[in-house]
Amino acid sequence: MNINRRIFFKTAGVIGVSLAVGSTLGAASPESGEIEFRGILYDSSRCVGCQECEKACAAAHELPEPQDEVKAGVLRKTSETQRCVVNNYNTSKGEVFIRKQCMHCNEPACAAACLTQAMYKTKEGPVIWREEKCMGCRYCMVSCPFDVPKFEYHSANPKIQKCDMCYERILKGDKPTCVNACPGEALVSGTRRELIAEARKRIAETPKAYTDQIYGESTAGGTGYLYLSPVPFNELGFNPKIQNSSYPELSKGFLYSVPSVFVLLPTLLLGIHEATKNNQSKNEEND
Amino acid sequence: MTSPSYSIVKDNDGRSIWSFFRSELRPKGKWLTPFNIVSIPIMLLGLGIIIIRFANGIGSVTNLTQETPWGLWIGFDVVTGVAFAGGAYVLTFMVYILKMNKYHSIVRITVLNGCLAYVFYAGALLLDLGRPWNVINPIIGNSFGTSSVLFLVAWHFMLYMMAELIEFSPAIAEWLGARRAHKILSGITIAAVIFGITLSTLHQSGLGALYLMAKDKIHPLWYSEFIPILFLVSSIFAGLSMVIFEGTISRKVFSHQISKKNHHAEKGILHGLSKICAGAMFAYFFLQLLVFIHGKHWDLLNTPMGYWYLFEMIGFVLLPMMLFYYSYRTNNITLIRVAAILTMLGIILNRLNVSVIGFNWDTPVHYIPSWMEIVVTLAVIFTEIWVFRWVINRMPVLRESPSWARNEN
């Protein structure tokens, strides 16, 4: 019995510590250090709905060129063949164009959900998907509050499609291809800090042109994609249910309880086992 | 160490180990039973669908969409199936930790049932993975997504299958006549039990915790930060109801294998289990009530989803709870079985409400599983029953262990 207990403690210890400590230390946290998160500022008041960004994006990522045109009142959605879309909404200030794609959250739910780190928040800011790691469980799609990751259901070797902020180009110091393609400078790239300062400046300089909010500054714990708009964002199809704190925070409590359960529960069970042992031998004598 | 030398496999009149396995693989008794006639075509059809799924992608056989990435294969096969397999950890806790010896005769079949449920229902997960060849990534290599609840669940599934295999392994050793192995394997049972209960506690709740990040997508009547605890508590009576249900069928099908003593003990076991179920369900119902009051969703009750919620809570939690209690007081065995079936329906309802029905409930187009998803699910269940039956007909699961194994302790 002593040997068993020793074996048990060893197994429980080794596995418990590796699982438990691993999950504690691995909790997503923004990178600190020299490199700042990069992002994109989209100013909806400058967007004319020309779809140049959509075309450039499709060309850059070997996806079919979008054929449907932007029409007021017609909702186009990102899909497994389209990583970004521009829509036209009828609002209190007339027709307003709005672009939708991955938000590149500071603390992305998809990356926290991914059990293979295929969804990954790079230290440069973009959230990327890594083909060689993904096992296609689609938990990222369940978790993403913006419903961004799209899955190729009709492929035997399916991929997850979503905007990666042209990570390869960012590594080389280039701008994302959509920013380059935008003729009206509705899209600006830079570090997240610079972009927030720029957005604040625009609101301060022409307060009448904008609603007083930078969407993404605190949404879902802060996102790499930032929005300015002339009208409140709930008029532009943004999900009003999305919270301001980060989403991985929601499962943190559970994950943090794992190490304690892993240490305390076996101890308790072993204790009860020892305590009831005498009972059993007494019962057996009585039988 | 001077121990008598036992051969690994018993002497089968000089037959080799291979001819022993070959004879054991052959079916015993007639095989054109009604169950086989129903299950074989479905299993073959399921196999065909699985081939199409791997050739043309998941979308070719399922109705999954970008809004509903997890359907029947996850919501029923995995999330519900694992809750039903919870009987194994509850019973091993009662028998090996609390020493409630009354239940000893049903431990083996419950552990076997649990073990196979994990192998098959968690195995069904592979069908749902888009890129199953990478399934090894969270286990080996440098791709540990340690901040993921699914990472924890995946590891726990794997470790728990091993723990259950160890718990069941003495029966395999008895089948093979491996005395030495039997002694060693019986010795580590308690370690496997303690490890297994800990793992179960964490992954039964972990299955609920998977949905914590989907806060905006699950209907507020089913979403709360207490999902993990609700899943854990409900797995207790889900598992025990499965034990009652499975016992009812096994008692009829494998009647000749059960000793007279155990036949007589059955009433007492069911009686005890109904009491435990009633208690656990009361705790669960009370928790649900607290969560509901805490969530302040009174206004939602008077909506279609609200009626559906009341239907689940009253019809499939409160009612079977009272049935369990009543049948315990009046010692009504038939009513216990009715309560168990109602409870199981309630668990299916609850798990599907969280994972499928209440998930993105407000999208215009709602997911309804395709007939092919249902056939594959049935095929998985039937295959499990086939293996279950094969094992019971060969290993001492229901029937008494050979005398050498009983005298060992």
pLDDT 10s digits, B132-157: 988 888 888 778 888 899 999 999 99
Q: Please state, in angstroms and as integers, the Cα–Cα distance from residue B23 to each residue in A213, B231, B389, following that order.
A: 75, 43, 16
Contact with chain A for residue B212, Cβ under 8 A: yes
Contact with chain B for residue A268, Cβ under 8 A: no
Question: Does B151 sit within 8 Å of A261, measured CB to CB?
Answer: no
Question: Does A241 sit within 8 Å of B129, measured CB to CB?
Answer: no
Residue with tokens 């992305």, as numbered in its chain: A108
Q: Please state, in angstroms and as integers, the Cα–Cα distance from residue B54 to each residue in B36, B132, B367, B371, B409, following that order.
A: 26, 10, 21, 17, 50
Contact criterion met (CB below 8 Å) for A162 and A149: yes
Q: Choose between A87 and B403: higher pLDDT.
A: A87
Contact with chain A for residue B151, Cβ under 8 A: yes
* Span B388-400, average pLDDT: 88
User: Sorting pLDDT into bands at 50, 70 and 90, what band is B15?
Assistant: low
pLDDT tens readout for residues B235-254: 999 999 999 999 888 888 88
Q: What is the pLDDT of residue B43?
A: 94
Identify the CATH assignment for B63-407 out of 1.20.1630.10, 1.10.10.10, 3.30.70.100, 1.20.120.50: 1.20.1630.10
Q: What is the pLDDT of residue A11?
A: 53
**pLDDT of B266 over the 90 cut:** no
Contact with chain A for residue B139, Cβ under 8 A: no
**pLDDT of B341 over the 60 cut:** yes
Quickly list DSSP for B207-234: HHHTTTT-TTTB-TTT--TTHHHHHHHH
Chain A residues with CB-CB distance to B227 below 8 A: none
Q: Choose between B178 and A57: higher pLDDT.
A: A57
Nearest neighbour of B143 by CB, restricted to A5, A117, A241: A117
Residue B217's closest chain A neighbor by CA? A145
Q: What is the pLDDT of residue B364?
A: 81
User: Sorting pLDDT into bands at 50, 70 and 90, what band is A280?
Assistant: low
Q: Choose between A96 and A278: higher pLDDT.
A: A96
- As a whole-number percent, the residues of chain A with pLDDT over 70 amount to 85
* Span B368-390, average pLDDT: 93
Chain B residues with CB-CB distance to A154 below 8 A: 56-57, 59-60
Q: What is the pLDDT of residue B346?
A: 95
How many whole angstroms separate alpha carbon A128 and alpha carbon B181? 50
Contact with chain B for residue A136, Cβ under 8 A: yes
Lowest mean per-residue pLDDT among A62-71, B327-336, B385-394, B398-407: B398-407
Q: What is the pLDDT of residue B403?
A: 80
Helices (H) and strands (E) in chain A, counts: 8, 9
Q: What is the pLDDT of residue B406?
A: 75
* Span B264-286, average pLDDT: 92
Q: What is the pLDDT of residue B344?
A: 95
User: Sorting pLDDT into bands at 50, 70 and 90, what band is B370?
Assistant: very high
Containing H/E element for A227?
Answer: strand A225-228
Contact with chain A for residue B98, Cβ under 8 A: yes
Contact with chain B for residue A272, Cβ under 8 A: yes
Question: Does B201 sit within 8 Å of A113, measured CB to CB?
Answer: no
Question: Does A253 sit within 8 Å of B99, measured CB to CB?
Answer: no
How many whole angstroms separate alpha carbon B305 and alpha carbon A25? 40
**pLDDT of A4 over the 70 cut:** no
- As a whole-number percent, the residues of chain B with pLDDT over 70 amount to 95
* Span B28-35, average pLDDT: 77
Q: Give me the total of CB pairs closer than 8 Å, taking one residue from chain A and one from chain B.
A: 205
Chain B residues with CB-CB distance to A109 below 8 A: 213
- As a whole-number percent, the residues of chain A with pLDDT over 90 amount to 70
Residue B294: burial class (beta carbons within 10 Å; 0-12, 13-18, 19+) = exposed
**pLDDT of B321 over the 90 cut:** yes
Residue with tokens 């800990």, as numbered in its chain: B198
Lowest mean per-residue pLDDT among A60-69, B24-33, B176-185: B24-33
User: Sorting pLDDT into bands at 50, 70 and 90, what band is A279?
Assistant: low
Chain A residues with CB-CB distance to B57 below 8 A: 152-156, 158
Contact with chain B for residue A249, Cβ under 8 A: no
Contact with chain B for residue A17, Cβ under 8 A: no
Residue with tokens 């070997």, as numbered in its chain: A62
* Span A128-139, average pLDDT: 93
Contact with chain B for residue A253, Cβ under 8 A: yes
**pLDDT of A28 over the 90 cut:** no
* Span A101-107, average pLDDT: 94
Query: Does the domain at residues A38-107+165-249 carry the CATH identifier 3.40.50.12280?
Result: no
Q: What is the pLDDT of residue A23?
A: 46
Residue spans of the domains in chain B: they are 63-407
User: Sorting pLDDT into bands at 50, 70 and 90, what band is A277?
Assistant: confident
Residue A13's closest chain B neighbor by CA? B195
Question: Does B66 sit within 8 Å of A147, measured CB to CB?
Answer: yes
Selected residue of B142, B147, B205 to mutate for chain A interface (largest A Cβ count, 10 A): B147
Helices (H) and strands (E) in chain B, counts: 18, 0
Q: What is the pLDDT of residue A113?
A: 94
* Span B347-365, average pLDDT: 90
How many whole angstroms separate alpha carbon A263 and alpha carbon B125? 29
Query: From the CA of A216, how many Å to the nearest CA of chain B?
Result: 17
**pLDDT of B125 over the 90 cut:** no
Contact with chain B for residue A109, Cβ under 8 A: yes
How many whole angstroms separate alpha carbon B275 and alpha carbon B268? 11
Question: Does A154 sit within 8 Å of B59, measured CB to CB?
Answer: yes
Q: What is the pLDDT of residue B113?
A: 92
Question: Does A283 sit within 8 Å of B150, measured CB to CB?
Answer: no
**pLDDT of B178 over the 60 cut:** yes
Question: Does A135 sit within 8 Å of B135, measured CB to CB?
Answer: yes
Q: Is B301 left (phi over 0), alpha (psi -120 to 50) or beta?
A: alpha
User: Sorting pLDDT into bands at 50, 70 and 90, what band is A33?
Assistant: low
**pLDDT of A282 over the 70 cut:** no
**pLDDT of A27 over the 90 cut:** no
Query: From the CA of B18, how many Å to the nearest CA of chain A?
Result: 33
Nearest neighbour of A266 by CB, restricted to B143, B147, B194: B194
User: Sorting pLDDT into bands at 50, 70 and 90, what band is B267?
Assistant: confident
Q: Choose between A287 and A254: higher pLDDT.
A: A254
Nearest neighbour of A7 by CB, restricted to B65, B191, B212: B191
**pLDDT of B161 over the 70 cut:** yes
Contact with chain A for residue B79, Cβ under 8 A: no
**pLDDT of B119 over the 70 cut:** yes
User: Sorting pLDDT into bands at 50, 70 and 90, what band is A30?
Assistant: very low
**What is the token pair recorded at A119?**
């969804």
Contact with chain A for residue B129, Cβ under 8 A: yes
* Span A29-47, average pLDDT: 79
* Span B46-67, average pLDDT: 92
Contact with chain B for residue A114, Cβ under 8 A: yes
